Structure 1
């Protein structure tokens, strides 16, 4: 029940942030990056970092499982 409430509150807060964000004026830096096409470089770098972190965590998990099975 506690996780359900936490999930509901998280979704509610994110919806509130999305609506609040749409009312804020556009950020000049983001507009400049979008217009010059450099936003895709930023997206690619962030995506690469996230994939790298997940691969690192996956490899650590495999090593830990191997050590647990070895004992």
Structure 2
């Protein structure tokens, strides 16, 4: 049971890691947007990152809970048949 949750967790995190690596693989000589500089200077970039982390963790928790409910319902259906 633990291995299946681990596999599911890895399957959910793998696309996020691929997106992060693609974002970090940009050429270092590219110009950054002015908005990013302004947010970084005022310290608001941390608020933006925090909001993104909260949203993504909420989505992940929702998917985990939904998967548990579906697994429970599948077991109940299998037991009845």
Same fold per superposition (TM over 0.5): yes
User: Hey, what's the Cα distance between the residues in 1 that align with 2:71 and 2:48?
Assistant: 35
Relative to the length of structure 2, the TM-score reads 0.63
- For structure 2, the 5+ residue unaligned runs are 1-17
- For structure 1, the 5+ residue unaligned runs are 1-9
Paired residue total: 58
Match of 1:51 in 2: 57
Match of 1:68 in 2: 74
1:38 maps to which of 25, 39, 44 = 44
Structure with bigger RCO (C-alpha 8 Å, 6+ apart): 2
Aligned CA-pair RMSD: 2.2
Deviation at 1:26, TM superposition (A): 2.1
Displacement over 4 Å in runs of 4+:
none
- The structure richer in helix per residue is 1
CA distances 1:17-70 after superposition (whole Å, capped 9, x unpaired): 7242x2211211000000000000100000000000000000000000110110
